[in-house]
């Protein structure tokens, strides 16, 4: 995929979906303005993960929205997803790129200033700044970067940046102003009573 829009990036979590299917959540979110979707499910079998990926790929293709798979290179390949998101302790970027090819999107999580500097040496498609603020959806993370951390990384990073961690309608404008190209959210959309409206409200405050 030649181009992609990081502005409103949804990360799934079935455990926070209040019993609603991932497919339903994703479609409602896309109708509300979500521009990218990452399938991140830590507590399901490989078969279930693959089936969800295939279903989401089919759904999102109708809307022209990229599907990114979290961590699992095998699932990304088997589902023909649009890309892969990796963390600092996942598959090394160079190997993932060699296997996936250059027509796929690869994003890399960055948790410190040093990691952002090191990412400049890689031709990843985007970096995910994690976490911006403290969050309950990820516990194995470093000290929050804060708005100052976003601004510092924005001053030297060669890559588009999406911020994740503790993001909501109130703090999104500050995150964009600090230099992020978009926000990635989990519970702000996945756990919302009205998923479509929650996405619309976030989309409205993302201004460049």
Q: How many domains does the chain have?
A: 1
56: CATH: 3.20.20.70
> For residue 208, what pLDDT is reported?
58
| pLDDT tens-digit readout, 107-118 | 999 999 999 999
Is 1 part of any domain? no
| pLDDT tens-digit readout, 78-92 | 999 999 999 999 999
> For residue 134, what pLDDT is reported?
84
Is 146 part of any domain? yes
Contact 58, 82 (CB under 8 A): no
* Residue 137: pLDDT band with limits 50, 70, 90: low
> For residue 19, what pLDDT is reported?
96
Is 109 part of any domain? yes
Q: Which domain holds residue 117?
A: 8-205
Q: Would you say the C-alpha torsion 174, 179, 182, 187 has a positive or negative sign?
A: negative
The verdict on whether omega for the bond into residue 131 sits within 30 degrees of 0, i.e. cis, is: yes
Whole-number percent of the chain with pLDDT over 90: 92
Q: Structure pTM?
A: 0.95
Contact 22, 49 (CB under 8 A): no
Q: Give the whole-angstrom CA distance, residue 26 versus residue 171.
A: 23
Is 163 part of any domain? yes
Structure tokens given for 113: 């200033």
Is 76 part of any domain? yes
> For residue 62, what pLDDT is reported?
98
């Amino acid at each position: 995929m030649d181009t992609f829009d990081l502005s409103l990036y949804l990360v799934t979590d079935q455990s926070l979906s209040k019993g609603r299917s991932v497919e339903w959540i994703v479609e409602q979110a896309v109708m509300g303005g979500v521009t990218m979707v990452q399938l991140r499910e830590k507590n399901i079998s490989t078969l279930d993960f693959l089936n969800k990926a295939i279903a989401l790929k089919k759904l999102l293709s109708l809307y022209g929205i990229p599907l990114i798979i979290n961590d699992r290179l095998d699932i990304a390949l088997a589902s023909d997803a649009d890309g892969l998101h990796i963390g600092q302790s996942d598959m090394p970027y160079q190997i993932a790129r060699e296997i996936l090819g250059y027509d796929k999107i690869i994003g890399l999580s960055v948790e410190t200033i040093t990691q952002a500097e090191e990412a400049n040496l890689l031709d990843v498609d985007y970096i995910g700044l994690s976490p911006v603020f403290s969050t309950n959806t990820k516990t194995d993370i470093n000290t929050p970067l804060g708005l100052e951390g976003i601004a510092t990384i924005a001053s030297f990073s060669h890559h588009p940046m999406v911020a994740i961690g503790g993001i909501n309608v109130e703090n999104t404008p500050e995150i964009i102003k600090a230099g992020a190209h978009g926000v990635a959210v989990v519970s702000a959309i996945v756990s919302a009573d009205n998923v479509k409206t929650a996405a619309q409200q976030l989309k409205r405050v993302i201004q460049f």
